Amino acid sequence: MDIDSDLDLNLLQQFSCLGTTDRDVLICQLQKVLGYQLNTTECAFFLDMNNWNLQAAVCSYFDIDTPKENGPSMTLVKDVTIGEGEAVPPNTRFVKTWRIQNTGDTDWPPACSLKFVGGDHLGHMNRVGVESLRPGHTTDVSVEMSSPGKPGVYQGQWRMCT
């Protein structure tokens, strides 16, 4: 009988994660590594989530705690030209203009653009440059588009990005 093949892989996983078998010691070590930013319950959560592997728990904490770089914050103030639900005759060139506002806490960087990200692509451009804008200020952004030859409801999604 081969003893190695009879070992449950789950049991091996459990042994490999235990540098120490004392969970209280692992909790204290995690608290120390993180500069005591977490209480014991929070440390136990991160350790349990990572099979009581201290290194993996530290990585998980920093993955969650690190602020994510978000794109520029904006809101649509209004459709300046063609509004939602307004009809455009088939095979017609038109200019779609949106009034948008910087709803974030910082100025938009100079390289901002409005980018087509999905839906029906009615324009010839995938990206339109947008001027740097201070928080609370508005600007108009226009895109040249052409309506499809077949009547219907068409929608495209655009996103502000850097």
Judge contact between 82 and 94, C-beta under 8 A: yes
* For the chain, domain boundaries: 3-65, 74-161
Structure-model confidence comparison of residues 147 and 85, the more confident one = 147
Beta bridge partners of 158: 116
Query: What is the rounded radius of gyration, in angstroms, for the C-alpha atoms of the chain?
Result: 27
Determine whether 46 is exposed, middle or buried from the number of CB atoms within 10 Å of its CB (0-12, 13-18, 19+): buried
Q: What is the pLDDT of residue 22?
A: 86
Which distant-in-sequence residues (6+ apart) come within 8 Å of 38 by Cβ? 30, 31, 46, 61
Q: What is the pLDDT of residue 139?
A: 94
pTM value surpassing 0.85: no
| CATH topology for the 74-161 domain | Immunoglobulin-like (2.60.40)
